[in-house]
Structure 1
Amino acid sequence: MVEAPLPATHPLYGWTSAAPPSVPERFSKDPSRPLFSIVIPTLNQGPYIEDTLLSILWQGYDNVEIIVVDGGSTDATPAVLERYRPWIRVLISEPDRGQSDAINKGFRRASGSVLAWLNSDDFYLPGAFHSVLACFAADPSGRWVIGSGDIISADQQFLRHVPAREGSEQTLLAIENDCFLLQQSCFWSASLWQEAGGVDEGLSLLMDYDLWWRFSQRCSGLVTQEKLGAMRYYATVKTRRQGERFPSELATIYARYGASEPLERLVQRLLKEKSALGERLQALERQLPVRLLRRLRLLPRP
């Protein structure tokens, strides 16, 4: 008998204070019901990954396989994974080439018909799997479910709600207006993933956005305003640490899918920002000694 893992030591955002559903002894593979394959890429997310795992276990749906791809964590992550090992079908622990590589590596081991990945500092909300199944049941031709969700702080304070939007070109082109699909609330069919070819391992920030473009060329998605996932946003989250990569990756994706007008606007905006930065540095140069500027690495050395 496998001992059930303890509940989280703190209330989990979106979940009631009542005791969570009991965790099944083993995940089953009932051919009469869709199998969810959830890939969790992780690296040094010890404070959060237990919440990620519990949000899957608490769904009350036992036809699930959890696939964790750990890039070589040196914090508490391995200890947490060992504690939950009986519920993790595949655990890959080895160096990788980044999150996109880890995601593709995980899905190569997936055998489910419904796929998703969940970052190891994020988690699902109650009823997410049942809402996804209801969407697919309502439209058997559907291949991609897009739900709504919340963005929260590291200590689980509400920051904003992200409504579900159709996975269309019009929606995707509105990304610079802060209009986006919440990756933590997206699920898709295994066949759609295979046709799309996985995520682009050359992208480290907008790999999901690039994937949505390829999905949108094949289907528009089934939209539900049910809240499916929660995304943590905090000072050291990757989207902030690597924020400077956003414009270049966005330009790459615009060019890839023939979005010439937004690409031109993006390039013009970046040129204006670069020009404005140059003017500020010139003004600073007139006010401060050149030697100090070079020491601060604001001017190149001769």
Structure 2
Amino acid sequence: MQLPDLKQYRSTFEKKGISLPLPSVPFEQKGLLNALPKPNLNQTGWPWTQETDPKVYSIRGSWPKLTIVSPSFNQDKFLEQTIRSVLLQNYPNLEYIIIDGGSTDDSKQILEKYSRWISYWQSEKDEGQGHAINLGFSLASGNHYAWINSDDYYTKDSLFTVASAFLSSQTDFVYGYGYNLNTVKNELELVKILPVRDYFIKIPGIIQPSAFWSAGIHQPIWEELHCALDFELWLRLVKGRSRRLVKKTLSVAHVHDDAKTSDPKMKQKWHEDHLKIWSTEAHGTVHEWKRIIFLNRIRQKLYKLLHL
């Protein structure tokens, strides 16, 4: 497993004349809802006609800096919703970075539309999702990190909830529940997870857009992976760290035909990723993984019985 040096990525940006640290997203005492451009879609509710009340942040004089990265490619159907769900949190100390892989749809026009409120964005060919995420985090200067894909979005007040959790518990990793939104049926499915224990870290469970971590524990994405890059990152990032499960829904993931988790054409890519992951000495063997899966099934049944 060969991981990239994010300092080298950062130096490439600096050679291009990018001034670091990046500017923060403008904070307005009255909120950004009326300041942002009108959305392309005629929709109501969050994050189209609603926003987090900026007054919730008045309980503290200062808030830790959050860096959010969005990798994107040809997701103009969802991109505006993602952007608005980040900006309309009205978080007072936010760095938002979008790395688009040179989309051929209307993504660039959407990025230009919201450029005033984005710390940095680019739309040019990259080497895939993992590379885009690493590029974004190479520019990061926040105290805490997260990434959200351009076909997902945050729920209302999620950044307030997460920042409050970091401040109250001094933890390394904060994670929560999520929704899956079926775009055909327009149905929401609540996805809850059990508290993550070190022994069971090899069981996929952490909901990627509902995960946030301290900058001090950040590690690069393994760019060779195509689908399971978040799962592999948790294997390195979370084990042995202090963590806190927030029993709230922090994000919504669109379930659509082109999503890696629901596209049948991606089945082989998922298989190839898992072969790579379990072939590394750092992550153990397939035999060990299967044993943990079996024990986790028992654990889940016991948990349900105890929480009826």
Q: TM-score, normalised by structure 1?
A: 0.75
Structure 2 counterpart of 1:252:
276
Q: How do 1:29-48 and structure 2 match up within 5 A? A: 32-48=62-78
Structure 2 counterpart of 1:216:
238
Q: How do 1:68-87 and structure 2 match up within 5 A? A: 68-87=98-117
Structure 1 counterpart of 2:214:
189
Task: Give the 3 Å change call, closer, same or farther, for CA 16–33 of structure 1 in structure 2.
Answer: closer
Q: Determine if the alignment matches structure 1 residue 167 to structure 2 residue 191.
A: no
**In terms of mean alpha carbon deviation, does 148-157 or 83-92 score higher?**
148-157
Instruction: Give the residue type in structure 1 aligned to 2:172.
Output: R
Q: SS state of the match for residue 103, structure 1? A: helix
Q: TM-score, normalised by structure 2?
A: 0.74
Deviation, 1:50, is: 0.2
Structure 2 counterpart of 1:147:
176
Residues 146 and 164 in structure 1, CA contact (< 8 A), matched pair in contact too: no
Runs of at least 4 residues off by over 6 Å: none
Structure 1 counterpart of 2:222:
200
Structure 1 counterpart of 2:133:
103
Q: SS state of the match for residue 134, structure 1? A: helix
Structure 1 runs not aligned, ≥5 long = 24-29, 267-302
Q: Determine if the alignment matches structure 1 residue 55 to structure 2 residue 121.
A: no
Structure 2 counterpart of 1:284:
none
Residues 99 and 136 in structure 2, CA contact (< 8 A), matched pair in contact too: yes
Residue deviations 1:95-143 (CA, integer Å, cap 9, x gap): 1110000000000011111111110010000110111012112211x01
Q: How do 1:7-22 and structure 2 match up within 5 A? A: 7=39, 9-11=41-43, 15=46, 19-20=50-51
Task: Give the 3 Å change call, closer, same or farther, for CA 219–63 of structure 1 in structure 2.
Answer: same
Q: CA RMSD in A?
A: 2.8
Q: SS state of the match for residue 242, structure 1? A: helix
Deviation, 1:263, is: 5.0
Structure 1 counterpart of 2:8:
none
Q: Distance in 1 between matches of 2:193 and 2:228?
A: 18
Per chain length, whose mean CA-contact separation is higher, i.e. which structure has more relative contact order (CA < 8 Å, sep 6+)?
2
Deviation, 1:61, is: 1.3
Structure 2 runs not aligned, ≥5 long = 1-25, 27-31, 55-59, 293-308
In the alignment of these two chains, the number of paired residues is: 251
Q: Distance in 1 between matches of 2:199 and 2:40?
A: 40
Residues 177 and 191 in structure 2, CA contact (< 8 A), matched pair in contact too: yes
Q: Distance in 2 between matches of 1:155 and 1:31?
A: 44
Question: Could you say which structure has the larger radius of gyration?
Answer: 1
Deviation, 1:253, is: 1.9
